[in-house]
Amino acid sequence: MSGYAMAPGAFDLTTFVLCSVGTGLMSCSANAINQFHEVPFDAQMARTRNRLLVRYVITPLHALGFASVCALTGGLTLYYGVNGLTATLGLANLLLYTSVYTPLKRISILNTWVGSIVGALPPMMGWAGCTGGLEAGVWVMAGILYAWQFPHFNALSWNLRPEYSRAGYRMMAVTDPGLCRRTTLRYTVAILLLSCSAPLADLTNVWFAVWSLPLNAYFTYLAWSFYKETDSASSRKLFRFSLIHLPALMLLMLINKKYWKYQGTSR
């Protein structure tokens, strides 16, 4: 829960655990509903054809029951165990994922932008769980998470273009490869700029901007290579590094957090 850890409020273990559990349950619900809707399409893709619903290991009714229990339990945990704002964000993310993002994947490439919002909301939930508000710092965090989705998913989808096309998914890599490459590069640059702005929002000290620069610069270099080369090798390198980049960036952010609070005091 990077959002909770980076928030300027005092750390409370009980609230942290309840926030993590509630957020996890809401995520499980969204994932189950998504897979419920996409069984016939998942069956056409090597990456998803071994999912439980596709293989009839569980029934659609079981999946919906699981999703309902997770959503109800997660929502109540966030509302009563954390606060109303966190619960509202969790519910909004669940609805955005299942009611907008999932069907949009087969309609428009805008699904990637909507899906990136879904990826940006969890740190906001953690932050709100700690402070009860959405101060300036969390918007920088959310912006970084939002921007990261593009190089991560665009690189992943590039080598899966035949499968996405066969299943009828409207992904940038399938419908507009040029836009896919340009968008990937733009958002890696955005991550670099947002990281430099973190000290201005009192999210981190200035050293985060310094130490994150080589990490973000290399990420941008890989995105540039993908933009220029547009081959499987460059997309794989970008995707694999994206898996390292985000946790490394969050760790640097935590190490260089501006305000720490212990038992009502801060430094």
What's the pLDDT tens digit per position in 181-198? 999 999 999 999 999 999
pLDDT of 222: 97
Residue 34: the pLDDT is 87
Q: What is the distance, to the nearest Å, from the Cα of residue 154 to the centroid of all Cα atoms in its chain? A: 14
Query: 130-169 burial, b if ≥16 CB within 10 A, otherwise e?
Result: bbeebeebbbbbbbbbbbbbbbbbbbbbbebbebbeebeb
Cβ proximity of 146 and 120 under 8 Å: yes
Count of beta carbons in the 10 Å neighbourhood of residue 117? 18
User: Which is higher by pLDDT, 95 or 46?
Assistant: 95
**Would the pLDDT of 86 be above 70?**
yes
> What is the pTM (predicted TM-score) of this model?
0.90
Closest CA to 33 of 1, 57, 80, 65: 65
- Please tell me which residue, 159 or 43, carries the higher pLDDT value: 159
Domain boundaries, the chain: 1-111, 135-258
Please provide the DSSP assignment of 217-259 as one string.
Answer: HHHHHHHHHHHHH-SHHHHHHHHHHHHHHHHHHHHHHHHTBS-
What are the tens digits of pLDDT across the range 183-239?
999 999 999 999 999 999 999 999 999 999 999 999 999 999 999 988 889 999 999
Please count the other Cβ atoms lying within 10 Å of the Cβ belonging to residue 205.
15
- Give CA–CA dist 22/168, Å, rounded: 33
Percent of the chain at pLDDT > 90 equals: 73
Give kind and range of the element (H or E) at residue 110. none
For the stretch 17-38, pLDDT in tens is 999 999 999 999 999 998 888 7
The band of 169, judged by pLDDT with boundaries at 50, 70 and 90, is confident
Per CATH, the architecture of 1-111 is what?
Answer: Orthogonal Bundle (1.10)
